[in-house]
Amino acid sequence: MAHPSQLGFQDAASPVMEELLHFHDHALMIVFLISTLVLYIIVAMVSTKLTNKYILDSQEIEIVWTVLPAVILILIALPSLRILYLMDEINDPHLTIKAMGHQWYWSYEYTDYEDLGFDSYMIPTQDLAPGQFRLLEADHRMVIPVESPIRVLVSAEDVLHSWAVPALGVKMDAVPGRLNQTAFIASRPGVFYGQCSEICGANHSFMPIVVEAVPLKHFENWSSLMLEDA
């Protein structure tokens, strides 16, 4: 998860997030190169007293500064489109979970099971155990198996919400009356935190998302216990 004074993204916990990190670095290097070139040209023009009459009216220079930006845009657009299509791929999910946004909590329903669902509320500050994170901990976590394709159906019951977990590279709007879907694969065990990313009222800051990725055997044990309690 994020920590104080962090400058970069959170560590990737899914293949899609790894691709997003690589694309970010790729685009950032292009921005650095463009910025350095522009800064050099500005400094050179301001500091030198020499002029070149061929720069003032040159067909070759106009061709270069027209073609070069087009090539740079293509170098950015192609990997960007590739990742967009990767994020939309949903192939044979092993588990489907329905996430419903409410004011101000989330409810989860494991649709592959007959009666497995629960509400997830933020744990108040005064009830936090040592080591838990303020405004990020929930009383019920969304538990998923590791290295399994997970499909999440996202909707809302009242106003606009957004189900977002940065480490998994997932962000999907929850719209009342509309069922959106997204998918991800947790590549390692861990607990991944997110928050509602759409301003949804007075307690918008107090509806965290906690995803716990565990080995398949542990997930089966957890689901059995939840079904027994239900």
Structural domains in the chain?
13-86 (1.10.287.90), 93-227 (2.60.40.420)
Q: Calculate mean pLDDT across residues 72-90.
A: 93
Q: What is the pLDDT of residue 8?
A: 86
Answer yes or no: is pLDDT of 3 > 90: no
Answer yes or no: is pLDDT of 72 > 80: yes
Q: Calculate mean pLDDT across residues 70-85.
A: 94
Answer yes or no: is pLDDT of 52 > 80: no
CA separation for the pair 38, 186 (Å, rounded) = 41
Q: Calculate mean pLDDT across residues 40-69.
A: 83
Is 155:100 a contact under the CB 8 Å cutoff?
A: yes
CA separation for the pair 153, 101 (Å, rounded) = 11
Q: What does pLDDT average to over the chain?
A: 92
Q: What is the pLDDT of residue 197?
A: 93
Q: What is the pLDDT of residue 61?
A: 82
CA separation for the pair 74, 90 (Å, rounded) = 27
Q: What is the pLDDT of residue 230?
A: 63
Distance of CA 30 to the CA centre of its chain: 22
Model confidence pLDDT, tens digit, residues 124-179? 999 999 989 999 999 999 999 999 999 999 999 999 999 999 999 999 999 999 99
* Banded model confidence at residue 56, pLDDT cuts 50, 70, 90: low
Answer yes or no: is pLDDT of 199 > 70: yes
Answer yes or no: is pLDDT of 90 > 90: no
Answer yes or no: is pLDDT of 114 > 90: no
If DSSP states are collapsed to H, E and C, what string results for the chain? CCCCCCCCCCCCCCHHHHHHHHHHHHHHHHHHHHHHHHHHHHHHHHHCCCCCHHHHCCHHHHHHHHHHHHHHHHHHHHHHHHHHHHHHCCCCCCEEEEEEEECCEEEEEECCCCCCEEEECECCHHHCCCCCCCCCCECCCEEEECCCEEEEEEEECCCCEEEEEHHHCEEEEECECCCEEEEEECCCCEEEEEECCCCCCCCHHHCEEEEEEECHHHHHHHHHHHHHHC
Q: Calculate mean pLDDT across residues 6-17.
A: 91
Answer yes or no: is pLDDT of 49 > 90: no
**Nearest in space to 204 (alpha carbons), one of 123, 105, 98:** 105
Answer yes or no: is pLDDT of 100 > 70: yes
Cα angle, residue 157 at apex, residues 97 and 122 outer, rounded to 5°: 70
Structure tokens at 22: 């690589």
Rg for the chain (alpha carbons), in Å?
24
CA separation for the pair 70, 87 (Å, rounded) = 26
Structure tokens at 21: 């990190």
Q: What sign does the dihedral 207-107-198-80 (CA atoms) show?
A: positive
Q: What is the pLDDT of residue 143?
A: 96
pTM of the shown model: 0.85
Answer yes or no: is pLDDT of 217 > 80: yes
Is 116:143 a contact under the CB 8 Å cutoff?
A: no
Q: Calculate mean pLDDT across residues 193-222.
A: 94
Model confidence pLDDT, tens digit, residues 15-47? 999 999 999 999 999 999 999 999 998 998 888
Q: What sign does the dihedral 11-16-19-23 (CA atoms) show?
A: negative
Q: What is the pLDDT of residue 156?
A: 95
